[in-house]
Amino acid sequence: MLKKQDIDNINKWSHTIIDAVEKVFFGKRDVIEKILVSLLCGGHVLVEDVPGVGKTILARAMAVCLGGEFRRIQCTPDLLPADVIGVSVYNPKESSFKFHPGPILSNIVLVDEINRATPRTQSALLEAMAENQITVEGRRVALPAPFFLMATENPIEFEGTFPLPEAQKDRFFMALKIGYPPRAAESLILETQRRTTHPVTDLKPVSNLRAVSDIQKIVVNVQVDDGLKGYILDIVEASRKHHLFQLGISPRGSLALYKGAQALAALRGRDFVTPEDIKELALPILCKRVIIKSEQMIKGITEETALTQLIDSLELPVLKGVLE
């Protein structure tokens, strides 16, 4: 049973984090909130957007405000798995090998242009995402907790890239597009970021990693009405039969939507999920978990438009177990 104080504390915590990040990442409060949803669900985020919209700044600001260690991996075709996970180096004086950890052994990791890394290196990243561990010379090494990975892809440049297969994109909890900032927010960028150092260097931690771990344990107890469980199942089952989709949503997708709705409700100060929580998260969580039929793609149908059409065709459930 959730305590009202716990939910109030989570709501206050979310406002504190979002307000702090917004000091350097303007006009995208909803994006920051969805990043927090993924973090609290133990998932990872794929950001597909054009260069220069603040992906690196967002990840750095989140790491600083949460009090975690941040590392950035710039993917290139010659990047090796050892460059990501680390390597053992022989010490002749001690006649032994010493493991030098790679950047993946951090709390928050930005993997920039993940599709420029070779499939071999991508597999090392995906092991870390799926199992919260890496394998070094046959030995398993646990990743720090909490561990959160944010990967980026450039959707307008494909030369020299190794696109992630659709099955690998399903490993990401959520896929986001940041988009261009509103005019007022871009005006703030011009005013505040013309200095020699970026304002992100002025940020201070407003939370700690222990708080993140504690909140992760609380949000799984947020109430989900039976009607909403049925609504999630209606969405995934409809995707498997819908004429626009070649591949529907997997059970991993339905579980992600369920957990994401719980986290979003808690961040907004509720101990129960509403249909609007599910509708709001459906596209970012499910859009990379479906494949459109080729003949529909030729007509210009995208994952977003197909999912929107599917969800709009379903009736919202009426809550019986909770009252607002």
- Per-residue pLDDT of 297-318, as tens digits, reads 899 899 999 999 999 999 888 7
In a domain, 318, yes or no: no
Name the E strands within 22-138: 45-48, 70-74, 86-91, 96-101, 108-112, 133-136
In a domain, 189, yes or no: yes
Mean pLDDT of 105-127: 89
Same domain? 56 vs 145? yes
In a domain, 272, yes or no: yes
- Which one of 212, 246, 267 terminates a domain? 212
Q: Which of 147-161, 167-181, 252-266, 283-297 is the least confident region?
A: 147-161
Mean pLDDT of 227-238: 96
Same domain? 51 vs 120? yes
- Which one of 170, 191, 212 terminates a domain? 212
Same domain? 205 vs 250? no
Report residue 91's pLDDT band, with 50, 70 and 90 as the boundaries: confident
In the sheet that 108-112 helps form, which strands lie side by side, from edge to edge? 70-74, 108-112, 148-153, 45-48, 174-176
Same domain? 166 vs 91? yes
**Whether pLDDT at 157 is above 80:** no
Same domain? 165 vs 197? yes
Report residue 164's pLDDT band, with 50, 70 and 90 as the boundaries: confident
Query: 265: which 2 tokens?
Result: 């409700």
pLDDT for 263 equals 98
Same domain? 139 vs 77? yes
- Give the residue among 20, 23, 14, 10 at the shortest CA–CA distance from 193: 23
Same domain? 145 vs 192? yes
- Residue 112 maps to which CATH number? 3.40.50.300
Mean pLDDT of 78-94: 88
In a domain, 320, yes or no: no
In a domain, 319, yes or no: no
Same domain? 70 vs 160? yes
Mean pLDDT of 269-289: 95
> Percent of the chain at pLDDT above 70?
96
Q: Which of 13-17, 86-90, 160-164 is the least confident region?
A: 160-164
Same domain? 286 vs 194? no
**Whether pLDDT at 324 is above 80:** no
- What does the pLDDT look like over 54-71, one tens digit per residue? 888 898 899 899 998 889
In a domain, 26, yes or no: yes
Same domain? 287 vs 256? yes
User: Whole-angstrom Cα distance, residue 92 to residue 146?
Assistant: 35
Asked if 234 and 314 touch (Cβ cutoff 8 Å), the reply is yes
Sign of the Cα torsion 132, 279, 154, 35 reads: negative
Same domain? 114 vs 227? no
**Whether pLDDT at 281 is above 50:** yes
pTM of structure: 0.90
> Can you give the residue range of the structural domain that contains 298?
222-312
Q: For 207, which DSSP code?
A: S
What domain count does the chain have?
2
Mean pLDDT of 16-29: 94
pLDDT for 138 equals 79
User: Whole-angstrom Cα distance, residue 30 to residue 283?
Assistant: 14
Residues in a beta bridge with 245: 292
Same domain? 208 vs 226? no
Residue with the bigger pLDDT between 103 and 153: it is 103
Query: 163: which 2 tokens?
Result: 């696109």
- Residue 248 maps to which CATH number? 1.10.8.80
pLDDT for 174 equals 95
Characterise 169 by phi-psi region: left (phi > 0), alpha (psi -120 to 50), beta (else): alpha
In a domain, 321, yes or no: no
pLDDT for 279 equals 95
- Which one of 212, 235, 262 terminates a domain? 212
pLDDT for 50 equals 82
Helix (H) or strand (E) holding 262: helix 251-267
User: Whole-angstrom Cα distance, residue 23 to residue 46?
Assistant: 23
Query: 37: which 2 tokens?
Result: 């949803």
pLDDT for 15 equals 96
Query: 297: which 2 tokens?
Result: 């793609």
pLDDT for 323 equals 47
Mean pLDDT of 201-210: 92
Residues in a beta bridge with 175: 46
In a domain, 157, yes or no: yes
